[in-house]
């Protein structure tokens, strides 16, 4: 990609960020393969339960800190672009207990509070060379319409040396260690998990860098640093403190769900064999069966879990998902509705329910679908897929203004600046002047048009004139 084109795209992207007050730095993969963000209501809730006390102790705005789960088997976690924490699925599956993940997040939070991310501003211009703006736009969209185990968005997998960008100095690493121990102390939690995690990575320094787990190469460790931490951890009054059993239970359920969804079918059946009737094993097998299209077996497992846990919204969501993806859309409505009933504040659950309502193609479900979509998008306005669903629902409901408004939002988050601008212009013409949506549509229209190339602007102006002439001809005929 030519540098000029990259700069133009960067300007457009920056405009999107300004409109939404959303800061996100490039995320890339060290291998030449795709990378995805996993969106799942249950997993996000559990990660929030694990991490939020640390963010509060660090005096960070918990609404401003964004945590993302990357579908990547390598062991890694990092912070970029301000207060954005990325955790690889490989880390969650490798961790032996919740306290290890909490320790890692505490360390990464230390990089945030220590102001170690200032290099990202210079890093952005460097990243332009790697043509990673598609990744940024992908993160902004956050969803691609899949209903499986949370909405996943495939991002571009460029083979780039991102490890050097994420690598901190020894001084910064030591500072983050101290911050982590302070945060764990303030929350009454043991630092033992952080030490255990470092031990898991202990042999990585003996492995050539390109084969190391990214965390080992971007967070270089040495024996002096680990020994210093060990002394402090053992001196803490919370050294022997165990993680809240309920939180540990949730973490093990998270691992089971991820394992069933991400690992091969046979691997899941070995780890969670048929003789294991625990909730975790049955949940993992539900996803393993679902992936193998063994729908009846998946439904038996999840129905049994619902019978034993009749107020668990995520079990209902899973059943709705299985039925929906099996083409039994109407049958999926009741479990999705129950999921929303038991967790009405979840934007993702409402989104899934709305999608199912719309997919019935029965108009009497439209009002309920729109109600759920509006609540969901109010909480999660960066969900590109949600805006696409909204545009479908409004179109079928004959609301032209909101159809164009939703389409503009969808195109904006999908990186189609021209489509966003055209639909925003139509929305501005149709929406009540000075209403919140009218203002947002005008912002999109003006910003996108300002960042168009001269040729694109000329084409747009030509198209506008042709459309105006066509409208005049039609009026004259009538």
Structure tokens at 386: 């949600």
Sign of CA dihedral 281, 286, 290, 293: positive
∠199-202-204 over CA atoms, to 5°?
Answer: 145
Question: What is the band of 296 on the pLDDT scale with cuts at 50, 70, 90?
Answer: very high
Write down the pLDDT at residue 12: 40
Close Cβ partners of 414 (under 8 Å, ≥ 6 residues apart) = 137, 141, 384
SS3 212: coil
Would you give the distance in Å from CA 115 to the centre of its chain? 24
The backbone torsions φ and ψ at residue 375, rounded to the nearest 5 degrees and listed phi first, read: -65, -45
pLDDT at 213: 56
Comparing CA positions, the residue from 76, 77, 70, 35 lying closest to residue 54 is 77
Which tens digits make up the pLDDT trace of 49-92? 999 999 999 999 988 888 889 888 888 888 876 788 889 999 99
Residues 399 and 373: beta-carbon distance below 8 Å? no
* CA gap 182, 393 in Å, rounded: 50
> How far apart, in whole angstroms, are the C-alpha atoms of residue 322 and residue 148?
8
Q: For the chain, what's the residue count?
A: 478
The full 3-state SS of 49-62, as one line of letters, equals HHHHHHHHHCCCCC
Mean pLDDT of 140-167: 37
Is 38:71 a contact under the CB 8 Å cutoff?
A: yes
What is the pLDDT averaged over residues 326-338?
97
Mean pLDDT of the chain: 79
In 82-235, the DSSP E strands lie at 84-88, 152-155
In this predicted structure, the answer to whether residue 215 has a pLDDT above a threshold of 80 is no
Look at residue 453 and tell me whether its pLDDT is greater than 90. Answer: no
Q: Which tens digits make up the pLDDT trace of 253-282?
A: 999 999 999 999 999 999 999 999 999 999
DSSP states of 224-259: HHHHHHHHHHHHSTTTTPPPPHHHHHHHHHHHHHHH
- d(C-alpha 298, C-alpha 277), whole Å: 14
Q: Which of 147, 137, 142, 65 is nearest to 108 (CA)?
A: 65
**pLDDT tens digits, one per residue of 343-352:** 999 999 999 9
Residue 199 is predicted with a pLDDT of: 77
Strands 66-71 and 77-80: unpaired
Whole-angstrom distance between the N-terminal and C-terminal Cα of the chain?
A: 50
The pTM (predicted TM-score) of the whole model is 0.78
Average pLDDT over residues 363-391: 95
The single residue listed with the structure tokens 């966003």 is: 420
At 436, list the tokens.
């919140």
Pairing assessment for the beta strands 84-88 and 66-71 based on DSSP bridges? parallel
Strands, sheet with 77-80, edge to edge from the N-terminal-most edge strand:
77-80, 84-88, 66-71, 35-38, 152-155
Specify the pLDDT at position 163. 47
Among residues 126, 117, 128, 123, which one has the least CA distance to residue 10? 128
């Amino acid at each position: 990609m030519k540098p000029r084109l990259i700069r133009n795209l960067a300007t457009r992207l920056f405009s999107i960020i300004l409109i939404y007050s959303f800061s996100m730095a490039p995320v890339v993969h060290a291998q030449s393969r795709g990378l995805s963000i996993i969106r799942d209501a249950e997993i996000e809730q559990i990660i929030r339960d694990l991490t939020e006390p640390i963010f509060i102790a660090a005096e960070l705005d918990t609404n401003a800190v964004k945590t993302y789960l990357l579908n990547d088997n390598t062991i890694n976690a990092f912070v970029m672009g301000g207060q954005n924490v990325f955790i690889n699925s490989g880390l969650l599956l490798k961790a032996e207990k919740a306290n290890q993940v909490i320790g890692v997040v505490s360390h990464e939070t230390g990089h945030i509070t220590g102001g170690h991310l200032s290099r990202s501003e210079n890093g952005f211009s460097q990243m332009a060379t790697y043509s990673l703006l598609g990744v940024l736009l992908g993160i902004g969209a956050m969803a691609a319409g899949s209903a499986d185990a949370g909405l996943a968005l495939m991002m571009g997998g460029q083979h780039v040396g991102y490890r050097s960008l994420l690598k901190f100095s020894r001084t910064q690493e030591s500072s983050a260690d101290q911050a982590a121990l302070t945060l764990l102390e303030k929350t009454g939690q043991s630092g033992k998990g952080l030490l255990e995690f470092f031990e898991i990575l202990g042999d990585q320094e003996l492995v050539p860098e390109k084969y190391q787990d990214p965390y080992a190469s971007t967070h270089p460790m040495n024996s002096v640093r680990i020994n210093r931490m060990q002394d402090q951890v053992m001196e803490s009054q919370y050294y022997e403190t165990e993680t809240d059993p309920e939180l540990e239970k949730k973490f093990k359920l998270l691992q089971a769900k991820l394992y069933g969804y991400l690992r091969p079918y046979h691997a899941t059946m070995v780890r969670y064999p048929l003789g294991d009737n625990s909730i975790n094993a049955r949940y993992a097998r539900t996803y393993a069966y679902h992936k193998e299209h063994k729908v009846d077996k998946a439904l038996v497992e999840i129905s049994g879990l619902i019978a034993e846990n009749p107020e668990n919204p995520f079990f209902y969501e899973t059943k709705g998902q299985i039925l929906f993806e099996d083409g039994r859309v109407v049958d999926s409505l009741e479990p999705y509705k129950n999921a929303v009933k038991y967790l009405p504040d979840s934007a993702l659950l409402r989104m899934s329910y709305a999608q199912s309502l719309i997919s019935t193609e029965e108009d009497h479900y439209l009002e309920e679908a729109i109600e759920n979509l509006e609540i969901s998008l109010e909480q999660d306005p960066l969900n590109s897929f949600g805006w696409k669903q909204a545009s479908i629902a409004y179109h079928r409901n004959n609301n032209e203004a909101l159809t164009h408004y939703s389409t503009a939002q969808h195109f904006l988050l999908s990186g189609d600046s021209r489509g966003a601008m055209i639909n925003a212009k139509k929305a501005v013409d149709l929406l009540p002047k000075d209403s919140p949506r009218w203002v947002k549509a005008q912002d999109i229209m003006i910003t996108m048009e300002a960042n168009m190339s001269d040729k694109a602007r000329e084409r747009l102006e030509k198209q506008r004139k042709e459309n105006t002439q066509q409208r005049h001809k039609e009026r004259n005929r009538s």
